[in-house]
Amino acid sequence: MGRSAEYDEFVVGIAKAVVADLAPDESVVVDVVGQEFLRDPERVLAEDGPRAPVLGSGIGTVVTMVTPVALAVGASVYQHLLDKAGESLVKGGGKLIRKVFRRGDDSDAVRRVVEARALELGRSPEEATRIADAVIAELSRGPDPA
């Protein structure tokens, strides 16, 4: 799993929001791909996927997915807010992180982080903008009902 329960919760939460907005058909796999991402992010983010099994179908076509990008973006935003607020402030979990975001009115900086990471992962500028919108909307959203 990831570095902490708060981190896991935050990253998967952000990814769900992004996927729900940009690729709703992937919603059913966000959790399971998220678990794999938290365990081994490099495997999920590999450009051509992990090493294909010797006896696989031999079809190397990679299907475009938003989920890995959404997960990676969530991880970057978490790191950004963590750097900004300090570790002691985020012991309270995802809710506190969101508060840090809202209190600091840090949307521009977060947007830059998200867009940079999305572009780095091969997404178009338009897609990166949409992903950033979704992330900021999710962070700006009120506390989770849970």
Partner 1 sequence: MPAGTAFRFVTLIGIALAITLFVADSFSETAFAGRGLARARCLVLHDLYPATSGALDLDGRKWRGYYDCLNALRGGQLLWLAGGLLLLALVTWLIYQAQPWWRIRRGRLVELRAVPALWARVEPLLVELTRRAGLPAMPEFRLDPGSPRAGGVAFGTHRRPVVALDVGLVLLHGRDRPAFDAVVLHELAHLRHRDVPMTYATIAVWRAVLVVAVLPYLWGVARAVYGGLGWDTSTVTLLLWFPVLLALAYAARTSVLRAREFHADALVVRWTGDADPYRALPEVRAPRLTAHPTRAARLAATNDPRVLLLPGFWAFFLGAVTWQVLTGTAEFGLSGLWVRSDTAGPHVVRVCWSVGVAVLVCLAAWRGAAYRRAGGDRSGVFLRPAAGLGLGLALGTLLVPTVVLDERGLRLSPLTWGLLAVGAAVAALVCGWAGWCAVLLGDRLRGGRGVAVAAAVLVVCWSCLGWLLTAHGYAGAWSTVFSPALDRLDALAGGGADSVVVRLVFLAYTGPGDRFSATAALTLVWLVPALLARPPRAAFTTGAVGAVGAVVAVVLAGLGGAGTPEGALVRTAWQVVAVVAVQVVVACAARRAGVVAALVAAWLTGVAGGAAIWVAHWSGGGVDAVVARQPWHVLPFTAVVAAVLAAALVRRRVPARQAEPVRRGVSDRSVARVALVPVVVVTVAVLVPYPPAPSAVALLPTEPPAARQLDPVAAMRVWAQGGGQVLLDDVVQAQGRAFFGMAAGDRPAQVARCAEVVDRIADARRFPGPPVPVARAHWDIGLDASLRGAQECARVFAAPSGNPSPVTEQFTAANTEFLALLRLLPFGEAAVRAATPSTPPAPTTTKPPVDLATLLLTAADLPPGFTVAPPSPQDELTSDRPECSQDNADVGPQQPVARAEVQFSGPGNTTISQWVFRYPAAADRSLAAITDLYARCARYSVSSGDITLDIGVRVVGGTPWVAEVTYGGPYLTLYSREVFVVRGDVLTTLSFHGRRPTTAADTDRLVAAVVAKSGG
Q: Which residues bind partner 1 (CB under 8 A)?
A: 25-29, 31-33, 35-36, 39-40, 43-44, 48-50, 52-65, 68
Specify the residue, 43 or 112, whose C-beta has the smaller distance to partner 1.
43
Q: Is 98 helix (H, G, I), strand (E, B) or coil?
A: helix
> For residue 69, which of 128, 133, 129, 2 has the smallest C-alpha distance?
128
Specify the residue, 15 or 110, whose C-beta has the smaller distance to partner 1.
15
Specify the residue, 4 or 27, whose C-beta has the smaller distance to partner 1.
27
- Dihedral sign (CA 14, 5, 95, 114): negative
Tell the smallest beta-carbon distance from residue 18 to partner 1 (Å). Answer: 15
Q: Please state, in angstroms and rounded to a whole number, the distance separating the CA atoms of residues 118 and 56.
A: 30
Tell the smallest beta-carbon distance from residue 15 to partner 1 (Å). Answer: 13
